[in-house]
A and B are shown apart, each in its own frame.
Chain A
Amino acid sequence: MAEYKLNTPLRDEDIERLEAGDVVFLTGIIYSARDAAHKKLVELLDAGKALPFKLEGSAIYYVGPSPAPPGRPIGSAGPTTSYRMDTYAPRLHSLGMKASIGKGKRSGEVKAAMREYKGVYFGATGGAGALLSNSIVESAVIAFEELGPEAVREMKVKDFPLLVINDCHGGELYVKPRLDTAD
């Protein structure tokens, strides 16, 4: 297992060298989007309209942060469960999204899309929202403000600690539960 420092936008060669289990410290711009925002992004695509940010090389963080208290750029900001975005992720990968950041299992379709379009799925520690917020140095809502916690934010991150869960070579880090040992 290797450790990498990567910057956004992510390139194919960044993704190709990553393997499940690698640790990545990500620096640059990432975008927040979760359930309701994804629905709206896909509606924009269906209508042939421009998205509020450039998908090419992008990393989308599945997060709905708590409100920023005075003096901090953002509130608590840990990952939400990713499977709810599985419906949308393959299409976004096909249009240039390179990475998604969340927690929990992904569908076969998302894994296939990561192989086909050179994408990666990063895990961040669920429930460590206060800790993870320390890596977010700036944050601004750039679309769908009406969604409140689910709005799309442009966030500047510095050395955001991530773990490669699914790589573009078919590797996966999550263990298979040992159902045979329990009766």
Chain B
Amino acid sequence: MREIQGKDVIEAVAGMCVRGNTELPADVRSKLERAMAGEDSPSAVEVLRQLLENADLAHDTKLPLCQDCGLAVLFVEVGDDCRVVGGNLRDLINDGVRKGYAEGYLRKSACDPLTRANTGDGTPAIIHFDLVPGDKLKIAYMAKGGGAENMSRVTMLAPAQGWEGIKKFVVERVAEAGPNPCPPTIIGVGIGGTFEHAAKIAKRGLLRKLDDVHPDPKVAAMEKELEEDLNALGIGPMGLGGKTTVLGVKITLEPCHLASLPLAVNVQCHSQRHEEVEL
């Protein structure tokens, strides 16, 4: 069994928190550039121009792209042929988040849900563990800001509502959210599983590259159809009108109970900050 040192986990997570918050991923940048080229409205072009200038400035100054450095969400795949030594994996990941948020001058936004007292160090992170074959440890980090997350919803449709019902719910949700979640947004859609699983797969889908194509042609076609419907809403960058309401739609489909059709819509802002490492 392969051994992975705990201190390597801490360093990897801390590094992802800092880089993730200060460097706009290349796929997001190129999508914003293409969106800007396709917009006619001056306000849409200006907003997109500001977002690109903001990304350059964050890169040069190491300031976070957005003051909301998010709640740290981590998807962890643990190979069943490896083990982490020198500490409990959950604690090590939280140590990494604590270190990254402190050293990167990132905003700590974790607080008690009722007293609203800030925990002060960005922890606890939201960590999803998955056991996979192999001897590698794969950790994906996402900075999930509150503004977009608040616009997300889970619902339980009746099976008969099918794809038409799914589309209607997603389109109405994005329309209702309007300018609030910092459009152009990226929409993670989880279809299937159970109540809680739909939400998890909707979020996990946001880790995909913006310009990839879903391996299942049927799902790829659904993503394209939904993306066109959402862009037809005309909300545009920051809700000021335009052709770019979403930068992408990422659908994850998984089997569900024969009585159910769980559906989750996870709204992500244009500042799609995420990183992955493999140890």
Contact = CB atoms under 8 A, between A and B. Distances in A.
* Listed residue (A68, A128, A150, A183) with the most chain B CB atoms within 10 angstroms of its CB: A128
Interface string A107-120: 00000000000000
B107 A67 contact: yes
Interface string B53-85: 110011001111111110000000000000000
Interface in B221-272: 229-230, 232-236, 238-241, 269-271
Interface residues of A, number: 44
Contact of B240 (A78, A128, A129, A173): A173
Given A66-B63, A69-B62, A182-B171, A126 B269 contact: yes
Contacts of A76: 58, 63-67, 107
Nearest to B109: A149
A173 B241 CA distance: 9
Given A75-B107, A103-B179, A128 B51 contact: yes
A67 B181 CA distance: 23
A63 B67 contact: yes
Contact of B118 (A75, A133, A149): A149
Interface in A50-95: 63-69, 72, 75-78, 80-81, 83
Contacts of A179: 171-172, 175, 233
A177 B245 CA distance: 10
B147 interface: yes
A17 B117 CA distance: 41
Given A126-B238, A149-B107, A177 B175 contact: yes
A109 B265 CA distance: 29
Contacts of A178: 232-234
Contact of B68 (A64, A131, A177): A64
B120 interface: yes
A36 interface: yes
A8 to B, nearest CB: 21
Nearest to A131: B54
A174 interface: yes
Contacts of B178: 104-105, 174, 177
B167 interface: yes
A2 B267 CA distance: 34
Interface of A: 35-36, 63-69, 72, 75-78, 80-81, 83, 103-105, 123, 125-131, 133-134, 147-150, 163, 173-175, 177-179, 181-183
Given A69-B63, A130-B65, A179-B172, 5 more contacts: A67-B107, A78-B68, A103-B180, A148-B118, A149-B118
